[in-house]
Amino acid sequence: MTSYEHKRRVYDMEAYDDLMNRMKEYLLLYSAAGVVQWDYETYMPPKGLMLRSEQLAVIHQILHRMGTDPEIGKLLGKAEKNSKKLNEVQNRNVFMVRREYDKETKIPEDLVARIAKQTPISLETWKKAKATSDWKLFEPELQKTLDLGRERAEIEMKVKGIPILYDSMLDEFERGITSKQITKVFKELRDRLVPLTKKCADASKDLDTSFLSKKVPIDVQRKIATDLSTLVGYDTVTDKAGGRIDEVEHPFTTGYYDDVRITVKYHEDNVSSAVYAILHEAGHALYEQNLNPEWKYMPIGSNASFGVHESQSRFLENMVCRSPEFLKFYLPKLKEFTGGSFPGVDDATFIKAMNLVKPSLIRIEADEVTYALHIIVRFEIEQDLFSDKVTVSELPQVWNEKYREYLGIDVPDDGNGVLQDTHWASGYFGYFPSYALGNIYDGMLLDKMQQDLPDWLNGVAKGEILPIVNWMKEKVHVQSAMYDPAELMERVTGRKLTAEPFLEYVENKYSSIFGF
């Protein structure tokens, strides 16, 4: 390389390096905003609502300014001009910055501030409305949140060249997915899960699960939560801990690499709720903690998608820790923690109870088989909302009708119905399909893992969960955002998106447990 070529190479890399330095500053502030949001959800005193709303608005305004600085556009132009001299990782970083820059530069700063200011108000109103089952209290705030979300999505769909408004919203959570693709795979799920639900429900109609309603003190449940999180590799107790567990109305995970926090809601008369909330959120947290450390502070050093995120939480929660092998292993420990609250409960009864399939009202309490039906209800409602087929005021009625149609149950009140989830209050329109896509990804991942780790269930029977976590780390976590979700799944499993492996898994598992 000549002296001139060397200088030219250095010059070419300066633009890319400057771009990445700016992204590091952006990501540091963004992660700090997450801690502020976490505090709002956990320990903020009630009087702090309006102050916190203003704080978040200012932070997001600053982030918007940072992300839309014209200098970033210049640096992107220089980096893209010399893309042949960048490696695959560097070009992926540039692509991801470009994707966000083109979108965010079209979003008015005023709109960013209005969304950031409205969200905590909407969330706080939702909490009160849910507690009192008062839809009318929440309806006007949801309408404001929806209008703001629509305003943003209408701008984004033009930038991204996506012709359907709702598809633009889906793309924010699952890059490249369309409502047409989701409709197809969700139909496959619905057509086979509805009859499977009936078979399971009929086979277990005489099963006594009342022992799961025995009261377990909250302080005991906290100990169980710590034990479970430690078992799966989510450290909250040592001097090297990168996590913690706190209590909220609706469980969630937030954080970045070395500081990833999970939350849970305890119910004295439903210890299994806390067990699986902890496992679910720990799955999310492990994914965040195991992202490629070499890509920290880079755009590529984030998760692949919300659907992939849900696959990691639901794989640990359901495929590993609802397995008969895990439940046989953990029942003695659960009895020990609860001081004999479950005397006389044998392995077979416990396995059936923890895998009970029964149409229910609450999504986060739903069993593995009916869960996707809850998501299909929300997906269809969102499609109708953003194609102007239903209005916000009609949501309770539409919700109740779909629950009657798909799950065969009547919704007694809005607190147990349309008000049960936090997502719409947060403005997360288009998020819900990610949960069922996570199930679909899980089926594909399980099929591949069983080829690579044929004895994994024997390890689970002894409480050995870390080999599974490490397999996921190698195959999924460290890939971070190098690939869009569809490509990631195809690279890991060798298959294009298909619901078949997941459907085969649930059909085989539940026919074995319930004997049909």
**Rg (Cα) of the chain, in Å, rounded?**
23
Count CB neighbours of 346 within 10 A: 10
Active-site annotation holds for 281: yes
Distance CA 289, CA 237 (A): 16
Q: Is the dihedral of CA 123, 125, 128, 131 positive or negative?
A: negative
Place of tokens 């305003």: 151
| Distances from the Cα of 450 to the Cα of 188, 325, 472, 493, 508, angstroms | 23, 15, 12, 11, 15
What does the block give as tokens for 392?
């916000």
Distance CA 124, CA 47 (A): 12
Provide the pairing of β-strand 259-264 with 253-256. Answer: antiparallel
Catalytic annotation, pick one of 281, 325, 368, 382: 281
**Of 124, 173, 168, 137, which is closest to residue 150 (Cα–Cα)?**
168
DSSP letter (8 states) at residue 85: G
What does the block give as tokens for 318?
């359901």
Q: Is 428 helix (H, G, I), strand (E, B) or coil?
A: coil
Distance CA 371, CA 51 (A): 37
The single-letter code of the amino acid at 362 is: I
Helix and strand element counts for the chain (H, E): 20, 3
What does the block give as tokens for 449?
């893992």
Place of tokens 């530069």: 105
Residues 6+ apart with CB under 8 A from 507: 192, 196
Is 146 in contact with 442 (CB distance < 8 Å)?
no
Catalytic positions, please? 281
